[in-house]
Structure 1
Amino acid sequence: MNPKNHQKQAIQNFLKVNPLSLKTLQDQVIVITGASSGIGLVTARMAASQGAKIVAAARNESALKELVNELQDKGQEAIWVKADVGREEEVRNIAETAIKKFGMFDTWVNNAGVAVFGHAINVSIKDMKRMFATNFWGVVYGSKEAVKHFKERKEPGALINIGSFYGDRGAVVQSSYAASKFAVHGWTESLRMELEKEKAPVSVTLIHPGRIDTPYNEHAHSYLNKQPAHGGMIYPPEAVAEAILYAAENPKRDLYIGSQAKVMELIGTLLPRTTDKLMELWLYRSQRADRPSKPREESALYDAGYGLHERGTNYGWKRARSLYVKASKHPIISRIAVVGVGTLAWALIKRKE
């Protein structure tokens, strides 16, 4: 073989990825944390409607019971597990309960999360640690249980971690939340490489949601005078659920919810100082509503928030779907979308010059 061709073949072999074969949803058992509201609730309902068996976990026991009764009344299979994902033993109980009931699970979705709104210097260390217990350590505990199960079972499974576009780019007023999501992104990427190197039967996907219309703002722990809320372009939780369930059947490295999330990542990388200034101008006014903030003691940071609400009290341009998610499910269209985003970023750079 020609040396150049041999080198080319070696590179192609090194880069070649053999995707794992994951089950169709109707044959899956799916564990979802944070299933009592928002993204988790929508995902549970959507997955169950497509035939998946659901293991719904959250802190709100009454909401979980009502959700499971709702699904069972429709002839769908589901169980609930009350759990605080910030406690390792309770996450372990989720896995054990799923295995006891269904004999296994095929997809684990680390979705549970809570936000803190406030300037970095003002947020107490106690509140930061509590938020990290849920947002970061909950993902670590869940990841370990999922990987352990898939390895022991020796069958491919999907681990899906919910990050944020604030895990790709820091943000004013949500510094603690952004830091927790940066940690989730770093953990997920590192874990993915290690598992791939050892050829473990685990598909690891990181979801990058943009602004999503969920009770996230109502559950948030707020240091602000005005109530936290999303303004600007907002995507429905169904768009995130669609991406999650696609990743449950199809190994994907990353899925971005809305071009908003992908554009922010690209511009933040290519034009960091410009992005700083834009976010300083835009984020202060687009992260709050024109009403007094709820008292911190009513937040979901330390205790379960209200359940069975898919959406929050946000304002702005509420999208019906994410076309970017639709494109991501089709490689050719996805590449065209990426080229378009890259062209936009390049145009911005040239304008700056």
Structure 2
Amino acid sequence: MSSLFRAMPKLKPLDAQVIVITGASSGIGLATARKAAEGGAAVVLAARDGQTLNRIADEIVAQGGRAVAIPTDVGDEQAVEMLADKAVEAFGRIDTWVNNAGIGAHGHPSELRTPDHERILKTDYWGTVFGSLAALRHFRKSGEAGAIINIGSVVSDLSVPLMTVHSATKHAVAAYTQSLRLEVLAEGDPVAVTLVKPSAVATPGPVDHSQSTGAYALRVDKGVAPELVAGAILTAAVRPIREVTVGSAGLIMFTGFARVLPELYERIAAAGAQKRKRAVPKPTEGNLYRPRDNGRTRGDMAVAGQSLYTQAQLHPQMTAAAVVGMAALGGVALALLSRRR
């Protein structure tokens, strides 16, 4: 059957799934693991920090969930292949694979050391590639439907001052995800491929886990709750979604502005670069070469509320019904007002 008319893959309900989550020791990955386990899924936790992973897995099991911890450096292709094998050994199969692991560094392009740049690409980009391929091989071997969910960012669509490598890797993740989706469609694989693009998220990552290259670090005052991103990920795990952006609609409008008027955007972004800096006593390594400060879903920044924009993307039918309902109520109110007059 032509890919033009092929039905979307039918994914299992959450409580019938086995979900592999990389970067599960903190932030979005940890929030997703906990939420998935609460929903009845068996979760395979992967990250470099084995001690923290084991503690998280024990907590999930103690609460009646199913979890196994498999320490993994996603930048190592063989290690990722072993992760897939061990997940199947533990639970018999894989239904969803979430490529979430990420590290980062702040600074202008001219300030970044080549080894640090390479290390981030190895984790953020190659980790996504290795995980996607391991999941796809499993799905093709089993013949069952599955989901590959890659975590991009709003900076998959534009570049932001002081977030050079993050912008570059997330552009690459977006391009790879789109290309993988084309292959899956062309080959007729029953695999859903989703790109999740969070805006600023209130995890330890933006501040505590990222390397700073000079006398300053990135200033992030507010972010959406990591649980909101986890909700988007798990929605994509049970219902095929091509792409979803999580966070402020205002930021999304700014992304559109950058596309339409790129030169003006660049001038505004460059002029505001100094405001994105905060002083630090000395440069920090972050978690580039070793795990750091794991076991937390949230950092120290303020947390934004729910995102109606995100909910509209995840539940378009409900949103359309709400809009129609509001319009109908408005019409009734207008008719009553006219009758009174």
User: Could you state the TM-score of these two structures normalised by the residue count of structure 2?
Assistant: 0.89
Question: Which residue of structure 1 aligns with residue 226 of structure 2?
Answer: 237
Where in structure 2 are there 5+ consecutive unaligned residues?
323-341
Aligned to 2:130: 141
2:263 & 2:320 partners in 1: Cα distance? 28
CA distance in 1, matches of 2:66, 2:223: 32
Partner of 1:89: 78
Q: Do the aligned partners of residues 284 and 203 (structure 1) sit closer, same or farther apart at CA in structure 2, a change above 3 Å counting?
A: farther
Question: Where does residue 328 of structure 1 map in the other structure?
Answer: 313
For 1:311, the equivalent position in structure 2 comes to: 298
CA deviations over 1:306-347 (Å, ceiling 9, x no partner): 2111111335xx31222222111222466799xxxxxxxxxx
Local SS of the residue matching 2:111: coil
Q: Name the structure 2 match of 1:262.
A: 252
Instruction: Please give the secondary structure, in 2, of the residue aligned with 1:104.
Output: coil
Which ranges in structure 1 are unaligned for 5 or more consecutive residues?
1-12, 338-353
Q: 1:109 corresponds to which residue?
A: 98
Which moved further from structure 2: 97-106 or 258-267?
258-267
Identify the residue that residue 209 of structure 1 maps to in structure 2: 198
Residue 194 of structure 2 aligns to a residue whose secondary structure is: strand
Structure 1 residues 18 and 151: alpha-carbon distance in aligned structure 2, compared to 1, 3 A threshold? same
2: CA distance between counterparts of 1:91 and 1:225? 36
Confirm or deny: 8 A CA contact 2:149 2:233 kept in the other structure.
yes
Give the total of aligned pairs.
319
Contact 1:106 1:157 in 2 (8 A): yes
1:198 partnered with 2:187: yes
User: Which residue is 2:261 aligned to?
Assistant: 271
- Aligned match of 2:15 in 8, 20, 26? 26
- Cα distance change, pair 327–72 in 1 and its aligned pair in 2 (3 A): same
RMSD: 1.9
Q: Take 1:15 and 1:269, find their aligned partners in 2: how far apart are those partners?
A: 29
Partner of 2:217: 227
- Measured in 2, the distance between the counterparts of 1:145 and 1:334 equals 36
The corresponding residue for 1:98 is 87
Of 116-125 and 217-226, deviating more is: 217-226
CA deviation map 1:39-65 (0-9, x unaligned): 000000000000000000001111101
Asked if the contact 2:106/2:217 (under 8 Å) is kept, the reply is: no
Structure 2 residue aligned with 1:348: none
What are the Cα deviations for residues 259-292 of structure 1, in whole angstroms up to 9, with x where unaligned?
2453233222112112212222334413x44x41
Give runs of aligned pairs for residues 119-130 of structure 1, distance below 5 A: 119-130=108-119
* 3-state SS of 1:30 partner: strand
2:288 to 288, 301, 313: 301
**Match of 2:212, as an amino acid?**
S
Say whether the 8 Å CA contact 2:11–2:240 is kept in structure 1: yes
SS of residue paired to 1:121: helix
Contact 2:149/2:193 (<8 A) preserved: yes
Instruction: Give the 3-state SS of the residue equivalent to 1:247 in structure 2.
Output: helix
SS at match of 2:109: coil
Q: Give the TM-score of the pair, scaled to structure 1.
A: 0.86
